[in-house]
Amino acid sequence: MIKVLVATASRHGSTREIGEQLGTALSAGLLARKVDAEVEVLDADQIESLADVDALILGSAVYMGRWLKSARSLVDRETKSLEAIPVWLFSSGPVDDTGKSDGGKATPEVKIASAAWAQDHHTFGGKLDRAELSWGERLVASAVHATDGDHRSSSEIGEWADEICGSLAEMPVVRNDW
């Protein structure tokens, strides 16, 4: 059995929801491919170690062009583990299609998104509900003319999960026991 972890950093919950959708799609996709797998979805700040993880999908909301601190901290803390297992990265944002002219490959967090150990980095549209934002966040959203609404695509999330399942089904996964 392989253990697949979907880890997310989310400020208002919409990136976590993408992670949950990915987890559900990965479980179903791996089962359909007859891959014995356990898929777990956790917040990035809940993860103490990746020692028993065979593959990781790590995602973060993007604010001001940066991943959230809990995702960045996980990357910094677990670099050795990330180099030893297959890792896919995703960003949630911008809130609309303005930054996705390259088919979902925008890289707002260049240092992490271009890491040599990453299999892929995908950017999903985000969600903006000004009622959930702090005063400062509303000010920034207004300044950058961010569009309210849910710009996430369930079909896009499912298609990316299916690509990951195909890769995992073909990979010989070796448990990383350090």
Q: What is the pLDDT of residues 41-71, one digit of tens each?
A: 999 999 999 999 999 999 998 877 788 899 9
Q: What is the pLDDT of residues 68-126, one digit of tens each?
A: 899 999 999 999 999 999 999 999 876 544 444 334 444 445 467 667 889 999 989 87
Structure tokens, 166: 């195909």
d(CA 145, CA 42): 32
CA 4 to chain centroid: 13
Residue listed under structure tokens 């009622």: 131
The pLDDT, as a whole number, for residue 153 is: 85
The pLDDT, as a whole number, for residue 146 is: 72
Contacts of 137 (CB under 8 A, 6+ apart): none
Pick from 89, 122, 92: nearest CA to 104:
122
